[in-house]
Amino acid sequence: MPVTVLFAAKSERWKEYEHPLRTALAEAGVDAELVTRAAPETVDYIVYSPNSGIEDFRPFTRLKAVLNLWAGVEDVVGNPTLNVPLARMVDDEGLTQGMVEWVTGHVLRHHLGMDAHILGQDGLWRAGAPPLASDRRVTILGLGALGAACGKALAGLGFPVTGWSRSEKRIEGIDCLSGPQGVNSALARADILVLLLPLTAQTENLIDAARLARLPEGAVLINPGRGALIDDAALIAALDAGHLAHATLDVFREEPLPPDHPFWPHPKVTVTPHIASETRAPSAARVIADNIRRAEAGEPMRHLVDRERGY
Ligand code: NAP
């Protein structure tokens, strides 16, 4: 008997995902009926985006797992009506590759001082070559699927990379720190700081005035993680005081960022509209199909969220 897979995301996403998901499920050997509507009690798996409108999972009495289309799960992880395994999106070929490219691009922008030439074509011959990557220390908070990949790419370019995570790690090319003590050392060596932490009760407002003060003078902050990792007012104060040189922000407490938000006109802030990396249907469909195949075969599913930890 086929399993029923409900695709629950914004309706415009169906066009993008239908073919890749059907193909990937067939290639994985999963006998599935892929639908966008179904009586809840007939659904085995939900391919889920938190903005799909489904908030009460109780009517899905046969549900075996929820497969999140996004890496971040803060909008669903605490849902008390969800009592089945929740997988988040980890997709090396698509989501991770996109993040590596975005982070590398923005690190290089600041490292090379590209703005001086791109924005300053005013007849002045500005001599002086930028330093080498080996002279610019990068710290990445969060060494998960995305942080570790970005760290390895930056280390490969020659940047001395420090990373910080909850648990201890060993990753080639990255000086790995962990725990509450590790964060202060990691910040102290962050000429460029990249935030790739999930939003949890422990990480919310982690980058407050005290932690910003630990950054070296003239540091740059790049945040493709989540907006609420940062105390916005403290960030603006640190930029205004000249302690921080620039902040490139992709994610915000409120999205879209309201037109009157002080980040928009701030000369030391670059706003990008939550585009650092998105889930790419063809490769993400293969990740989802493989996870459903695993569940049906009684094998452990991959990328399961720890509901206690919150990510
Ligand atoms: P992940 O694999 O779950 O990695 C999370 C990392 O953060 C892990 O290294 C984890 O430590 C660390 N961490 C979590 N809580 C911590 C704490 N309290 N103290 C220290 N370290 C902590 O997540 P991911 O796939 O890399 O994604 C990271 C985040 O990126 C997502 O949650 C999402 O918010 C964001 N994101 C943004 C975009 C965008 O377009 N802007 C796209 C995708 C994802 P352990 O390794 O010890 O568990």
Q: Do residue 132 and residue 264 come from a single domain?
A: yes
Q: Is 237 among the domain residues? A: yes
Q: Is 305 among the domain residues? A: no
Q: Do residue 256 and residue 140 come from a single domain?
A: yes
In CATH, what number is assigned to the domain containing residue 57?
3.40.50.720
81 lines ligand 1 (CB under 6 A): no
Q: Is 182 among the domain residues? A: yes
206 lines ligand 1 (CB under 6 A): no
Q: Is 164 among the domain residues? A: yes
Q: Do residue 238 and residue 105 come from a single domain?
A: yes
Burial 8-35 (b: 16+ CB within 10 A, else e): bbeeebeebbeebbeebbeebebebebe
- From the CA of 170, how far away is ligand 1's center (Å)? 17
Q: Name the pLDDT band for 120 (thresholds 50, 70, 90).
A: confident
Q: Do residue 82 and residue 130 come from a single domain?
A: no
DSSP string, the chain: -PEEEEEES-THHHHHHHHHHHHHHHHTT--EEEES---GGG-SEEEE-GGGS----TT-TT--EEEESSS--TTTTT-TT--S-EE----IIIIIHHHHHHHHHHHHHHHHTHHHHHT--SS-----PPPPGGGS-EEEE--SHHHHHHHHHHHHTT--EEEEESS---BTTEEEEEHHHHHHHHHHT-SEEEE-----TTTTT-B-HHHHHTSPTTEEEEE-S-GGGB-HHHHHHHHHTTSEEEEEES--SSSSPPTT-TTTT-TTEEE--S-S----HHHHHHHHHHHHHHHHHTPPPSSB--TTTT-
| Residues 39-57: tens digit of each pLDDT | 999 999 999 999 999 999 9
231 lines ligand 1 (CB under 6 A): no
Q: Do residue 47 and residue 9 come from a single domain?
A: yes
- From the CA of 180, how far away is ligand 1's center (Å)? 16
- From the CA of 311, how far away is ligand 1's center (Å)? 7
Mean pLDDT of the residues in the chain: 97
- Provide the number of structural domains found in the chain: 2
Evaluate if pTM is beyond 0.95.
yes
| Residues 165-203: tens digit of each pLDDT | 999 999 999 999 999 999 999 999 999 999 999 999 999
CA 4 to chain centre: 29
- The residue contributing the CA closest to ligand 1 atom 19 is 166
203 lines ligand 1 (CB under 6 A): yes
- The catalytic site residues sit at 226, 274
| Residues 194-235: tens digit of each pLDDT | 999 999 999 999 999 999 999 999 999 999 999 999 999 999
Q: Do residue 105 and residue 67 come from a single domain?
A: no
Q: Is 39 among the domain residues? A: yes
Domain that holds residue 16: 3-91+279-297
